[in-house]
Structure formats: C-alpha cells, structure tokens
Amino acid sequence: MEQDNLLKKIIAHAKTYGFVYPSSEIYNGLQSFYDYGPYGVALKKNIQNIWWKTMTQWKENIVGIDTAIGMHPKVWQSSGHVDHFHDILVDNLDSQKRYRVDILIEQHAEILIQKKQSKTAENLLKSMQYAIQTKNYDQLHTLLTKNNIQCPVAKSAHWTPVRAFNLMFQTKTGALNEEANTLYLRPETAQGIFVNFLNVQKSTRMKIPFGIAQIGKAFRNEIIARQFVFRMREFEQMEMQFFVKPGTELQWFDYWQEQRLQWYVHLGIDPQNLKVKPHDHLAHYANKAVDINYDFPFGTKEIEGIHSRTDFDLQNHAQATKKKLQYFDAREQKNYTPYVVETSVGCDRLFLMVLCNAYQQEINNEKNRLYLQLPILLAPIKAAILPLVKKDGLPEKAKKIFDDLKYHYKVHYDASQSIGKRYTRQDLIGTPYCMTVDYETLINDTITIRDRDTLKQERIHITKIAQWLQSKIKKI
Ligand code: ATP
C-alpha cells in the first residue's frame, strides 16, 4: 500500500515538475502513451547519451547505427514475431478485468513457494511452459481453474477462454488501401541491426568480436499496460548485438552481464535494488539468458535483458533472402555465421528506475524536504546560477557567470522569488548545485555553492567554477 502510494507520488511529481505528462491529456489522455516534458526529455537524453558513449565511444569494437522503423514485412516472419510474438490473455467474468495468463500463473507460483510448496509451484510452471510452447490454450485455462487461480479484484476463478494476441502494430504503405502492403511498426530495434550485419561489417571492416548498437523507438500493442512508463505502447530501446565466434558466446555473455551491472552501479543505482534473474525457460533460439531486475515500488521487474541468441537471427534471414550472412575469419581462414550476445534495455524503464532511485523524502522535526538525488551526470540541470537579490548589480554579475558556463554545461539562471524558494525549485528537479551571487561576490569575485544532498555551502572564486563542476562529474 505504502509502495503503491510511493509510485503515485512519483507519477504526480513527474507531471508537476515537467518530467512526464500523459499523452494528449486535454483529450483525457491515451492509455500507455506518454510525453516527456522539458526536464524529462533532458534526463532521458542524458541517459541515452551515457549509454551511447559507453557503447560506441568508450568501447573500440562497437559501432552505432540508426535504422528505419518500417522494415520489409518478411523480416518479422524470419524473426519469428509474426508467429510467436503474442501475449496470452484471459478475462475474468466477474470483474471484467483482463490479465496475462503467464503473469497470473507466475504470481500464483510465487505464493506457493512462500507457502513452502516449491514442488507444486515447479510443476505448475513446467505445465504452463509446455502449454505455451504447444499453443494449448485450453490447457492454460484448465491450469487456471484447476489451481483455483483467482482474479485479484473479483477473488474468483471464473475465466473466459484463453486467447493469444499478437503485439505488433500494423499499418499500410501505398496510396490505395486495397493494394497496399501491410507494414509492422518494429516491436524491437534488434532486427534493424541483424539485417545490416553485412553492410556494417563490410563498410567499417570490423573484426569479430564486434558490436552494433542502436537507440530507437519500438512499438508493442501491450494489452495489459499499467505502471506508468514501465510498460508503454510506444517506447525506446537501447540495444547492442555483439557478434562473436561460435563457441565463445558464453564467455562473452558473462562479460556483458558484469559490464551492464557495473554500469548501473556507476550511474548511482543502489546495487541492493538490482537483481540478476536467469530465465527459467529459455526461448528456443537462446542458450543462456538473464534479466537485470530492479526493485520498483510496484515489485521487482525487468529493466534489461541479456540474451545469448546463437546464430538464430542471421541464419533465418540468410535462409529467407538466400544471402550469405557470414563472416570470413582471416586468422582461421574460414567463413562462419557469428553467434550473438545481446544487451537490450528499455530507455523509459531506465528513466523510471532513475527517478525512483532519486526520489527522496526527508522528514525532519521542523520541516520536510523533498528532492531528487540525481547524479550530476544525469541531472537535467547541472547548476543553477542565482543572484541573491534582483538589484545592486548582482543579476548582471550572475548573468555573466551563466553566459560563460552555458556553452559547456546545462545551467539555469533564475532571479525570481526568494532564494529559499529558488533552492526548493532546484531540489525538486534534481539540480545538484545552486550557485549564489551575493554582495561578497562584488568585492572578491567569489560565490557560494550549495550542495543539494548535504546542504553544505562552500565559497569558490568565479574563475574556478567550470573546473570545480568538471571535478564533480565522475567518469563511468
Ligand atoms: P516484459 O516481459 O516486461 O514484457 P520483455 O521481456 O518482453 O519485457 P524484451 O523484449 O526483452 O522485453 O525487451 C527488452 C527491453 O525493452 C526490456 O527489458 C524493457 O526494458 C524494454 N521494454 C519492453 N517492452 C516494453 C514496454 N512495453 N514499455 C517500455 N519498455 C519496454
């Protein structure tokens, strides 16, 4: 309950202070679509920039790419999305609420485990997996009723038949609808990388092992879409496919798992809230997979998947197109289809994780304080430049400091209202430092810097500000 309230508070905070708004809100919104406000877009772009730099700048063997959202429809047949990219749904007849069957069964299994009935839970999960793989939806219905798995709202197990629902959005290309071709809005960015494997390898002469990274929009017609930007119908992914010599993929898998975990810790995420969860049941193309999960206020949920995808995608595209999607290994003097280790993270989920991690409610005897403890690397504004009062030449002095800094850092100038109110405003959007120009500045060219987290103040000379800010930005 308390955790539910916390999420509600974070959603309200995000809207009030310009991070995230419901899409088309004046028309009562559109479920599972969101717009990023001025501070939200800055935070999101900072997250994307760090990821992009980590992958394509600080690693010498990864290059970036930006592929189209629309792809040849056959891509999605080869990738398995047309046949297999389903949510399996059921409605409760009493509450009229709709659920994903796998989630209902998994939650029930967790309760069984808590009641020390692990064997029953294990059998239930095995039966579920088998029924999903064989598309036996009647069997899934039986599992729900036989185990008395209830709707959390109606507390009943009166279920409609179980149905599969493809998550890909469809549109048409061409002028006349009847003649037009069906086009899918990509449900993941990875396929844009696979179909360009040869283009990239040949045009950049990358040698295996090497990676291709991409940030871009993906679309999924999620039926059960709740929990704010955690599950959206239009969202952004940051994916990297790492192409390796077959047989070395599990080594690289361990490497990437470690790298990605460390990346979150460097970003300031509390490691205690990060959990690695191996997949209980591997997809048919994978030989190892883990999720990196985060303890959100609404439960421990996936933020990133790391998958060893074998050569499944390249082989399927090669077969469908009759193109040789192979790599010539000069050292070994032979051709092979590389194996792939993928790291795949949702930018919006990461954004929500950063926000949850940063949201601080400090309750002191005299006064409560609310602030976002964002690391300087991610904060939308790095420092606010504030003249103490709006007279006696202080605004001009502060403006000059602002103008000098603005080409190097995202800084903000604010002269309105009392200094206390201005500090609070910056705390609420997560600005780490407030720099105040006061009467002493006019005498000796020093300013005070207030630290958002410790509230300590120090004085430094204005010629040292840029260097001082730089020293606070930790390298990843
Ligand atoms: P889930 O089981 O939560 O639906 P998934 O396993 O289908 O996620 P992947 O296909 O592995 O997710 O996608 C990789 C990443 O993309 C996820 O870890 C997540 O961060 C992000 N992602 C997936 N679906 C959504 C969505 N609907 N909204 C926001 N982010 C998403």
The predicted structure's pLDDT at residue 4: 67
The predicted structure's pLDDT at residue 2: 65
* Ligand 1 center to 344 CA (angstroms): 8
* pLDDT mean values, one per 10 residues, the chain (476 residues): 81 97 95 96 98 96 97 94 91 92 93 92 93 92 95 94 93 70 93 97 95 98 85 97 97 97 94 92 86 95 96 96 94 95 98 96 80 95 96 95 95 94 96 96 96 95 94 75
Q: Where are the domains of the chain?
A: 2-75+169-356, 86-166, 381-474
Total-model pTM: 0.91
Sequence-distant (≥ 6) Cβ neighbours of residue 424 within 8 angstroms: none
Given the CA of residue 225, which atom of ligand 1 is nearest to it? 27
Cβ proximity of 87 and 265 under 8 Å: no
* Ligand 1 center to 346 CA (angstroms): 6
CATH topology of domain 2-75+169-356: BirA Bifunctional Protein; domain 2 (3.30.930)
Angle value at C-alpha 57, between 204 and 205, nearest 5 degrees: 10
The CATH code belonging to domain 381-474 is 3.40.50.800
* Ligand 1 center to 388 CA (angstroms): 47
The predicted structure's pLDDT at residue 463: 95
Ligand 1: residues with CB < 6 A are 188, 220, 222, 231-232, 235, 237, 302-305, 344-346, 348-349
* Ligand 1 center to 221 CA (angstroms): 12
CA neighbor of 340 nearest in space, from 209, 203, 187: 209
* Ligand 1 center to 393 CA (angstroms): 53
Question: Treating both helix axes as pointing N-terminal to C-terminal, what angle do 347-358 and 38-56 enclose, rounded to 10 degrees?
Answer: 110
The predicted structure's pLDDT at residue 371: 96
The predicted structure's pLDDT at residue 367: 72
C-alpha distances (whole Å) from 210 to each of 30, 174, 196 are 40, 37, 14
Whether 2-75+169-356 shares its CATH topology with 381-474 is answered no
The predicted structure's pLDDT at residue 282: 79
Q: Nearest residue CA, atom 16 of ligand 1?
A: 346
The CATH code belonging to domain 86-166 is 3.30.40.230
Q: Nearest residue CA, atom 10 of ligand 1?
A: 188
The predicted structure's pLDDT at residue 223: 81
The pairs formed by 447-453 with CB atoms below 8 angstroms and a separation of 24 or more are 447/401, 449/383, 450/423, 452/371, 452/373, 452/426, 452/427, 453/371, 453/373
Sequence-distant (≥ 6) Cβ neighbours of residue 391 within 8 angstroms: none
Q: Nearest residue CA, atom 23 of ligand 1?
A: 346
pLDDT tens sequence across 245-256? 999 999 999 999
